[in-house]
Structure 1
Amino acid sequence: MTTTQLTTTQLTTTINPAEIEAFAGRVTADTSAWMVTTMAMIGDRLGLWQVFADGAARTTAEFAGQAGISRRYAQEWLSSMASHGYLTYDPATGGFALPAAAVPVLAADSPVYFGGLHQALYGLTAVLDRITDAFRHGNGVPMSEYGDDWWEGLERFTGGAFDHLLPQQWLPAMPAVQRRLEAGAAVADVGCGRGRALIVLAQHFPQSRFTGFDIHPESIAAARQAAAEAGVSDRVVFECLDAAAGLPGTYDVITTFDVIHDAAEPDRLLRAIRAALRTDGRYVCVDINASHELPANAGPLGAYFYGISVLYCLSTSLAQHGAGLGTCGFNEHTARLMCAAAGFGEVRRTEIDNPFNIVYEVSA
């Protein structure tokens, strides 16, 4: 009898019960984490975390009144968050509070704010049926199938890096790029999404001019509106374009932010970027901080990367009959090989310590 033919009773008697119990406990904890993330997303959607941003403790009644929600639902939500340790609870006073270290993560505009990611992950649930079908047939899910929660949440999450890291840490680590932007550069952002990166750059570098390209029409429409609202439409424009087919014009600086690993034709896209980069130009490539070797990616963050690959990165590439690199597919090892094949010069990994991303400065 093979292992696959063993009955449940026979199987459990051949394994140490303590090991089964330990693994069941781990799965229970992981399942609880999904529930906690869902509750945190509800808190973000209703603005509940912001009620606690001042650090003060509140009873259920006080919290419900300030948040404008039902007291009974407030009690259950508070209890869930306190049970997981996101909130503290004082039995003597009945007061709940958000620890100071949790405020930038859950309740404030910061580079480590997770509210946008929670919204984005919730948005992915809408495509689960399509994803499971793709498992059977090897196809993908096109971008048009993903709803507003995914796109809006993704913008909010990545916006923390653009607002708080791009001008303050990433660009100072690339002095040659920063000098060009200060003097006045022609800049293109390939896979610009809703335009947050270029809008931030335009606000910091008024002498430069910026063009964003993306294949997703809804994102381009949102980017144009955001640029108008930010008052930078005079120096930032957005075009719906498949950049792999070639970029119009040439540029001093070209950027991609978590784009190459998603691309249907990453080799062709890199060649197009190289062709559009001026002789002394710079390509700023931000992509996933992962290894080409699976054991080096072991752990919670690696599991997240591979999961988001299944739910979006891999699937949208395969939907275009693409390469399907996946979230971890444009790691440092692969990035160096592919950039060299595309005709770039030096690929320099900047001294940026970020768990999610590697920032490369690539010469023409």
Structure 2
Amino acid sequence: MATLATSPLNETKLNAFMNQAVMDMGAAMHATLVLVGDKLGLYKAMAGAGPLTPEQLAAKTGTRERYVREWLNANAASGYLTYDAATKTYTLPPEQAFALAKDDSPAFLPGAFQIISAMMRDAPTIIDAFRTGRGVGWHEHDPELFQGTERFFRPNYAANLISQWIPALTGIEDKLKSGIRVADVGCGHGSSTILMAKAYPNSTFFGFDYHPASIEWAQKAAKEAGVGDRITFHTATAKTYPGKDYDLVTFFDCLHDMGDPVGASAHVLSSLAPGGSWMIVEPFAGDNVEDNLNPVGRVFYSASTMLCTPASCSQEVGLALGAQAGEARLREVVTEGGFGTFRRAAQTPFNLVFEARA
């Protein structure tokens, strides 16, 4: 086995790696500051406000100037803000404001940093899982994860679900407009369910998730959105959710988290009405590891290590598909569950959207 004593070092490669590591250190540390800026409303206060001094931003947000000044400098060093040395002012460019201060933007980012924060807090639990092999259920994670996941995924769903993904399914859009029964499985805080209920008032929606706290949140969110009368939320798993004759069943970014996705597939098939469709939204991934060795794959493999794989291992079967399972592996799972048709219906840089039919 090669050791440091016998393996010559390429100084150029070492320096390149060290530069990369320093970039990663800064990114990891700055992730906490994004969360601080989000929770204190600092980005929102800067959006559209033009150049601001630390004193002005502190006054606008009810915070202390010295802390704000250091936060501003870190953001400027990270390229999140611009700094004018002549006036000693800081500006949030419109592009950054679109991603950091606008909750309904399709590029909204703070939810992702909430997820990162939760992953950091959960590191001791995951380290133990590495040693013991035990799973870590979704419900066992830091609560920041649940809200962060909803805030991170909702903008992408809002941008694509109604305009692109549903129209790509076989005849489903017209059925939704006329009125059908829809089951949204693994609904979490209910963002996807609520978006569909708003867009298709003639249809009836049922949201299912095994996590009681998420179901409680979803019920409140649906009521606040004015669609509580068209959505029924229940605590149930993907293999036990009740009801039959659904014309559409949806799984948003959750099939790979399940311990027994084949069993879930079989249950979906048994719950569909004749001619119904199962829409499966999954993280974008190629079929081979080498296809996913890129920035998006880096994010998804990291999340999968901390969240998705442990979740599956905590359940029966524990197939542990992982967030980068890829289309071929997902096809195997779906067809093993009894479906005869499986096709890629749509895609974005972050998602693959599949349709399965009997």
Report the TM range for the smaller structure's normalisation: over 0.9
Match of 2:46 in 1: 52
TM alignment of 1:256-295, pairs within 5 A? 256-295=251-290
Q: What is the RMSD computed on CA atoms of the aligned residues?
A: 1.6
Q: Please report how far the alpha carbon of residue 175 of structure 1 lies from its aligned counterpart in structure 2 after TM superposition.
A: 6.1
TM-score in terms of structure 2 length? 0.95
Q: Distance in 1 between matches of 2:321 and 2:12?
A: 39
**2:322 alignment partner, one of 321, 326, 330:** 326
Alignment of 1:3-82 (within 5 A): 3-4=2-3, 6=4, 10=5, 14-54=8-48, 56-82=50-76
Partner letter of residue 237 of structure 1?
T
Tell me the percent identity: 36
1:178 is displaced (CA, Å) by 0.9
Moved more, 174-183 or 86-95: 174-183
Shift in Å, 1:246: 5.5
Is the partner of 2:244 in helix, strand or coil? Answer: coil
Distance change (3 Å), C-alpha of 1:33 and 1:11: farther
Amino acid at match of 1:324: A
Q: Tell me which amino acid in the other structure corresponds to 1:269.
A: A
TM alignment of 1:219-234, pairs within 5 A: 219-234=214-229
Over 3 Å counting, the alpha-carbon distance change for 1:123 and 1:47 in structure 2 is: same
How many angstroms does 1:173 deviate by?
Answer: 2.9
Deviations 1:15-36 (A, max 9, x none): 1222212211111111111112
CA separation in 2, counterparts of 1:272 and 1:278?
12
TM-score normalised by structure 1 residue count: 0.94
CA displacement at 1:55 relative to structure 2: 5.2
Q: SS at the partner of 1:171?
A: helix
Judge conservation of contact 2:184–2:206 (CA < 8 Å) in 1. yes
2:190 corresponding residue in structure 1 = 195
CA deviation string 1:277-334 (max 9, x = no partner): 11111111111110120110011211111110111100111122411111112x2111
Q: How many Å separate the matches in 2 of 1:147 and 1:138? A: 20
Structure 1 residues 336, 142: closer, same or farther in 2, change over 3 A?
A: closer
Structure 2 counterpart of 1:250:
245
Taking the aligned partners of 1:351 and 1:279, their CA distance within structure 2 comes to: 23
- Give 5+ residue unaligned stretches, structure 1: none
Amino acid at match of 1:316: A
1:241 counterpart residue number: 236
Distance 1:40 1:132 in 2: 26
Instruction: Provide the rounded CA distance (Å) in 2 between the counterparts of 1:128 and 1:147.
Output: 10
- 1:55–1:100 Cα contact (<8 Å) kept: no
Q: Which residue of 1 aligns with 2:85?
A: 91
Runs of 4+ that moved beyond 3 A: none
Which digits, 9 at most, give the CA deviation of each residue in 1:39-81, with x for residues without a partner? 1111111111111211511111111111221100011000000
Change (3 A) 1:16 1:161: closer
Shift of 1:11: 5.9
Letter of the aligned partner of 2:57 in structure 1?
Answer: F
- Report 1:79-158 matches (<5 A): 79-108=73-102, 109-158=104-153
CA distance in 1, matches of 2:132, 2:126: 10
1: CA distance between counterparts of 2:140 and 2:181? Answer: 34
Answer whether contact 2:346 2:354 (CA < 8 A) is retained: no
Number of residue pairs matched? 356
2:336 is the alignment partner of 1:337? no
After superposition, the C-alpha distances for 1:113-156 in whole angstroms (9 at most, x for unaligned) are 01111112112222111100111111121222212210011111
Report the Cα distance in structure 1 between the residues aligned to 2:47 and 2:97, rounded to whole angstroms: 6
